[in-house]
Amino acid sequence: AAPEADIAALSAELHQRFSENDLEGAAQMADENIKMIGYGLGLDLEGREQFLKFMQARKRAFPDITVEHTNLVVQGDQVVVEFVATGTHTGPLMTPNGEIAATGKPVTLHVVEIHTWKDGKLVNLIQYQDPTSPLRQIGVLE
């Protein structure tokens, strides 16, 4: 199989594991020194443990959140994936201004990620999303 197909499948598997709550499995797909930048969320993380904690925090706030790919482009060792994440805010949501208690409201997030793969491991993840969108959807912002 072409390397392009291989890394596209890896990005799909990463999000499938996240959707199915296999966060340990998803974290194991990352290099131990993975770097993650989340523009909009103000994230700058390094290391597999921090990557796992990020995923755990998302699942705490939205335990049923799942990811559906809407577009995927492969170039060299990178995958650019556009996805829609849908879930229900039934747990505490951590924000820079503190914790927001569960509202029970559904959210739909539109996200773009750039995954860089090396030797079958995720070495870099850059994420773009509108941080105000979920806050508006759960009624915290007008």
pLDDT value at 127 more than 60: yes
* CATH code, 102: 3.10.450.50
Q: Are 30 and 48 within 8 A, CB to CB?
A: yes
142 part of a folded domain = no
128 part of a folded domain = yes
**Distance, CA of 42 to CA of 66 (rounded, Å):** 22
Residue of 42 and 44 predicted with greater confidence: 44
Q: Tally the domains of the chain.
A: 1
Place of tokens 């860089």: 116
pLDDT at res. 3: 66
Q: What is the mean pLDDT of residues 100-109?
A: 97
53 part of a folded domain = yes
Strand 93-95 to 78-88 pairing? unpaired
Query: How confident is residue 6, by pLDDT bands cut at 50, 70 and 90?
Result: very high
35 part of a folded domain = yes
> 17-37, pLDDT tens digit by residue?
999 999 999 999 999 999 999
- Starting at the edge strand found earlier in the chain, the sheet holding 43-46 runs 43-46, 30-39, 121-129, 106-118, 78-88, 66-75
> 45-85, pLDDT tens digit by residue?
999 999 999 999 999 999 999 999 999 999 999 999 999 99
> Which range of residues forms the domain containing residue 30?
3-137
81 part of a folded domain = yes
pLDDT value at 8 more than 60: yes
Beta strands in 14-55 (DSSP E): 30-39, 43-46
